Structure 1
Amino acid sequence: MLVVQITDPHIFAAGQLMEGRVDTAEGLREALGLAQGLQPDLILMTGDLVNDGQPEQYAQLRSLIQSVEVPMILVAGNHDDRPLLRALIADLPHAVEPLPEDGSGRLEYDYRELLSAGGPRIIVVDTVVAGRHDGHISDEQIAALVERLESGERTLIAQHHPPYTSGIGFMDAYGLAGGQRELESLRAVPGVMGVVTGHLHRHAVHHDGSITVVTAPSSAAQVALDLEGGPTTYTDEPGAFLIHLIDGSSITTHVQPLGGAGTWRPSWAQ
């Protein structure tokens, strides 16, 4: 089974670039083209789907993803507007339906369609705090998550904010309050295959006891790997996405860079 994870595409209105230099629409277009060529069972988009939560940005996002014929889970990030995103999801035939609105404003999922084919259940936790770039997972959310997991079914958890400290100070300033409590709780329940996140704009893997958290790189732009506490800095590294190969209780994750790198064969290859 194959699940593609694309994150942080930061789509602008048609014709606009990120900081006048990054064509985020082209990054998402290329990522989706490569992803669909893999014939995945699911495309999981883990937040910051647009840059400023504006209607014209969601219109551009819609134009980019409306032809996708693979089930898609669209997760909210701190740059998203949840009501506008929920409306977009309702208008896309292949978008997975989120859990019903419960008055909290959260956009969460409990996707079970992969179970019949031996795949995992996908639970999405909404970590967004409206109007802020840092995230929060409440004790109430953690308790509800643990209750859902008590069935013991193999489950992959997805959310926008990573529940760990990355060491990149300018990104950790916008981290996840309650993340450590979440990890402690997940260690105590059966069936958790891992947690996948976005937000960091870099690929990273965090191990916390029995729980592994995998963070996807952005399809748009990566931040600098600055472990010395410098100011917010981006790099010209290419966009990328993750490919999760799932076989029973195991997950193997590959990074797929964008940019059309060529291939070559060594002289000794048969």
Structure 2
Amino acid sequence: MSALAAELTVDPSASLLTPHPLAAAREAGGAVGAIRAARRVLTAWLQRCLRQGAYRQQAQAVAALPLAAIERQLHVALAEAGDGGIEPTHAELIAELQGIQRLVARLAGTQKSQPDALRAYDALVDSSLSALHHLSELEVELTAQQAWLDPLTGLPGRRALQQRLLAEHSRVRRHGGSCALALVDLDRFKPINDRYGHLAGDSFLVAFAAALRRLLRPYDSAFRYGGDEFVLVLPQSGQGEAEAAIARIQQDLGEQPLLQLRGQPVHAAFSAGIALLEPARSVVQSVADADARLYAAKAGAARADR
């Protein structure tokens, strides 16, 4: 799994606003289409505000923010994204739009000759541009995720994982809070391939991915890194919460078979290494910490099997 840290050293400071080539070429529906529609509505409204300027012809003549229309598109995006992990960004955008709504009311309540009118107008424009920036960032992230799905399990793959880790790290730096990542490696997967064949092994991986989707919170995300290795990204989780989440998944998988192979119940077990994304440390360092803890957990599982 240390290869993930190596891949992330390519440019950990790169802006997530740099579009993936497919972002410009692909007309996507679903979550991406909804985000694009929300951005168009907000852009059209901001253009009206810019044409009006701070000193309107009439004191009350401020273009009403089409908040309901934008929120409707954001809710569509949240529902369509599934485990794309946009819930934290969705919540931030809703709060940002509500702040813009308050600035609209403040501007409407000023006289055009008052200095406060210009201050309110400047704040409104700045906040609107910030919201457009975040919508563009989210559109690019979702487009990349859709392009980088693992064909076997349907989970986002390693390229989407890189984008998500960088985005979560940036969010933690900007807004505080916490985010944990867990490197997951299936235990005793090779014997399944050896005994039942590789097609059965593929079925096992598909079932394991489905179990992760079922057992994670709506705003957590699972990624397939490759082979029998997965990565979980757990926003708003500290070390204790992440350990509890891993223990809950392990307990559930231990209590019931993952699937039946040749009429035999087969359970899933895995080892995990957890680390936190922290503002003062790079994503690469956090991944390396999780990798070291995974190595120790795998060694412990191997000793227990002897």
Larger helix fraction of residues: 2
TM-score normalised by length of structure 2 = 0.23
Q: Which protein is richer in strand relative to its size?
A: 1
TM-score, normalised relative to structure 1:
0.25
